[in-house]
Amino acid sequence: MTEATPTEADIKATMAQVLRRIAPEADLNAVSPEENLRQALDLDSMDFLHFLVGLHEALDVDIPEADYGRLTTTARIVAYMQEATQERTAKE
Amino acid sequence: MAEFRMPSMGADMEAATLVAWKVQPGDRVQRGDIIAEIETEKGDIDVEVFEEGVVEALLVEPGEKLPVGALMAQIRGTDGEAEGAAPAAPRGPDERRAAEPEPEPEPAAEPRRRTPDERPPVARPERRVRASPLARRVAADLGVDLDQVTGSGPEGAIQRADVEQAADAQRAAAEGAGAAPLAEAPPEAPTEAERGDYPARMRQAIAKAMAQSNREIPHYYLETHISMERALQWLAAENENRSIKERLLPVVLLIKAVARALEDVPALNGYWRQDRLAPQEAIHVGFAISLRQGGLVAPAIHDADRKRLDEIMAALDDLITRARSGRLRSSELTDPTITVTSLGDLGVETVHGVIYPPQVALVGFGTIHERPWAEGGLLGVRRAVTATLAADHRATDGRQGGKLLDAIDDYLQRPDEL
């Protein structure tokens, strides 16, 4: 999984998988890519932290706290994860 | 002989249903051990025992709904009658099932004087048995399995006389017969349908507690704005050195600051009982957690003033997870000495709380966000939070409340000392 840049579909699937553990009733498909994810899915700060930890583990991506503010919508999270995995691949 | 009774999980609880026993007669228990699982409006709760001793008898069956204070089990103190007696080895459910073929209760020749090894186990019947509470207690005392008793009361209900008769018959049958371990059925948990509608029942429980609070507690409210700039800068630097899993949330600083401030203003940490304030030494911060299915609980972060920030974060994480999966422990619901509620995630500016009786105070925090801030003759922009206090005017006055908010502010300006 760490060799290639994950596709948008891969990342969305991972997001959905991680979310199922945190908010079983949350439906990622019902949220538009530009919608604020935390508000749409009613995630509190502990939920959101768990969500990021889940993504970090599944995608092997470092997410500094300073970047949390950028991770607001599905579209932005997908772009961030793709960028981060590309950077990591380039380093390797 | 200590009696284990249905504990109260707060002002809003009247009764609960026993879901399962977590101990068997003969098991040795220590303070804090989980003895039973009960189902309340706040989800399933692991009930802890506060005695040390040996479980003598379990007097109620899974599935029974019991009022607060109902006798549930008897526990023999270790230093009392059991002096010198060897503790009964706890038996696992598998061993018990393996011993199935002989369902005859163990004979009890001298039922009132027995050592743990000889104790007649009390069976948990596989089906619901109709029996009066007195009959159950007598059956437990005499070591009679209610499943084996024919009831003569209304609708076949088992009464005291039936139990005593059965005990006599048992004794007669036991003459010459070897003691056989009693087969016990696995605890029968009520089905989802029997448990009813959680959200609706939780709503009722909250309604009861909050109505009581509003009716009985003369609240006063104080509010202050606290600059979070220093605290958040310190936190950002701290979190930079931590892996994502070890990072702290700002609410951890708020909880710790409240706990420390209560050390300075102890009058707000405690209960209003029997028309007087009973301040508590230990500071157990109840943190309000909203549940996904609706409603909320405010379980305790025990000894929050003495916990490191890491420990508060871990405790909070654990409590939120267990609150939402319905696996809180009884002490977590009964111990809070104050409540903290943080509605910051929703963008709320100010919380005017309703005190959870018998507590005497509730501290609320709104969203941490940037706002114009005047200080030292200069106007700037700071990240800040609105902190409120709702306090019981029977217990304290505004001056003490003001001191508490001031102390919270003070601690948040010295985050490295938290």
Q: Which residues of chain B are within 8 Å of residue A65 when distances are taken between CB atoms?
A: 236, 239-240, 247
pLDDT tens for each residue of B204-250: 888 999 999 999 999 999 999 999 999 999 999 999 999 999 999 99
Question: Do residues B285 and B302 both lie within one domain?
Answer: yes
Question: Do residues B179 and B47 both lie within one domain?
Answer: yes
Which one of B239, B292, B320 has the shortest CB-CB distance to A65? Answer: B239
Q: How far is A9 from chain B (nearest CA, A)?
A: 24
- The enclosing domain of B12 has a CATH number of 2.40.50.100
Which range of residues forms the domain containing residue A36? 8-91
- Per-residue pLDDT band for B374 (boundaries 50, 70, 90) equals very high
> Rounded to an integer, what distance in angstroms lies between the CA atom of residue B10 and that of residue A2?
51
Q: Which residue has the higher pLDDT, B227 or B162?
A: B227
Q: Which residue has the higher pLDDT, B81 or B391?
A: B391
Domain boundary among B193, B212, B245: B193
> Rounded to an integer, what distance in angstroms lies between the CA atom of residue B30 and that of residue B292?
34
Q: Is residue A72 part of a domain?
A: yes
* Domain count along chain A: 1
Q: Is residue A49 part of a domain?
A: yes
Q: Is residue A3 part of a domain?
A: no
> Rounded to an integer, what distance in angstroms lies between the CA atom of residue A77 and that of residue B281?
47
Which residue is closest to A38 within chain B, CA to CA?
A: B345
Question: Do residues B36 and B115 both lie within one domain?
Answer: yes
Which residue is closest to A46 within chain B, CA to CA?
A: B317
Q: Which residues of chain A are within 8 Å of residue B249 when distances are taken between CB atoms?
A: 45-46, 49
Question: Do residues B312 and B360 both lie within one domain?
Answer: yes
Is residue B156 scored above 90 in pLDDT?
no
- The enclosing domain of A49 has a CATH number of 1.10.1200.10
Is residue B160 scored above 70 in pLDDT?
no
Which range of residues forms the domain containing residue B30? 2-193
The answer to whether the CB of B37 falls within 8 A of the CB of B44 is yes
* Domain count along chain B: 2
> Rounded to an integer, what distance in angstroms lies between the CA atom of residue B250 and that of residue B227?
13
- Per-residue pLDDT band for B399 (boundaries 50, 70, 90) equals very high
Question: Do residues B37 and B164 both lie within one domain?
Answer: yes
Q: How far is A24 from chain B (nearest CA, A)?
A: 9
Q: Strands across the sheet with B53-58, in order?
A: B2-5, B71-77, B53-58, B28-29
Rounded to two decimals, the pTM is: 0.73
pLDDT tens for each residue of B6-32: 988 877 788 899 999 999 999 999 888
- Per-residue pLDDT band for B189 (boundaries 50, 70, 90) equals very low
Q: Which two tokens stand for residue A25?
A: 């009733």
Question: Do residues B291 and B152 both lie within one domain?
Answer: no
- Per-residue pLDDT band for B184 (boundaries 50, 70, 90) equals very low
User: Taking CB atoms and an 8 Å limit, are A65 and B240 in contact across chains?
Assistant: yes
Question: Do residues B306 and B210 both lie within one domain?
Answer: yes
pLDDT tens for each residue of B300-352: 999 999 999 999 999 999 999 999 887 899 999 999 999 999 988 878 999 99
As a 3-state breakdown, chain A gives helix, strand, coil percent values, each rounded to 5, of 65, 0, 30
Q: Which residue has the higher pLDDT, A53 or B163?
A: A53
- Per-residue pLDDT band for B128 (boundaries 50, 70, 90) equals low
Handedness of CA B115, B117, B118, B119 (dihedral sign): positive
Q: What's the whole-number mean pLDDT along residues B394-403?
A: 97
Q: Which two tokens stand for residue B376?
A: 């030292």
Q: Which two tokens stand for residue A76?
A: 């932005």
**What pLDDT does B177 receive?**
44
8-state DSSP, B116: G
Judged on CB neighbours under 10 Å (0-12, 13-18, 19+), A8 is middle
Q: Which residue has the higher pLDDT, B166 or B127?
A: B166
pLDDT tens for each residue of B30-76: 888 999 999 888 778 999 988 889 999 999 999 899 999 999 999 98
Question: Do residues B234 and B288 both lie within one domain?
Answer: yes
- Per-residue pLDDT band for B406 (boundaries 50, 70, 90) equals very high
Which residue is closest to B293 within chain A, CA to CA?
A: A25
- Per-residue pLDDT band for A75 (boundaries 50, 70, 90) equals very high
Question: Do residues B215 and B310 both lie within one domain?
Answer: yes
Question: Do residues B144 and B277 both lie within one domain?
Answer: no
Which one of B240, B249, B290 has the shortest CB-CB distance to A45? Answer: B249
Q: What is the ipTM of this complex?
A: 0.88
Which residue is closest to B313 within chain A, CA to CA?
A: A46
- Per-residue pLDDT band for B146 (boundaries 50, 70, 90) equals confident
Domain boundary among B193, B208, B225: B193
Q: Is residue A1 part of a domain?
A: no
Whether the bond between B358 and the residue before it is cis, its omega within 30 degrees of 0, is yes
Question: Do residues B152 and B69 both lie within one domain?
Answer: yes
The answer to whether the CB of B388 falls within 8 A of the CB of B221 is yes
Question: Do residues B368 and B280 both lie within one domain?
Answer: yes
Residue in B178, B28, B33 with CA at minimum distance from that of residue B89? B28
pLDDT tens for each residue of A6-47: 888 999 999 999 999 888 888 888 899 999 999 899 898 999
The answer to whether the CB of B237 falls within 8 A of the CB of B404 is no
**What pLDDT does B292 receive?**
79
Q: Which residue has the higher pLDDT, B234 or B118?
A: B234
Given CB atoms, is B368 within the 8 Å cutoff of chain A? no
Residue in B174, B188, B218 with CA at minimum distance from that of residue B127? B188
> Rounded to an integer, what distance in angstroms lies between the CA atom of residue A32 and that of residue A78?
13
**Neighbour tally for A32: CB within 10 Å:** 10
Domain boundary among B169, B193, B217: B193
Q: Which residues of chain A are within 8 Å of residue B317 when distances are taken between CB atoms?
A: 46
User: Taking CB atoms and an 8 Å limit, are B244 and A25 in contact across chains?
Assistant: no
**What pLDDT does B377 receive?**
95
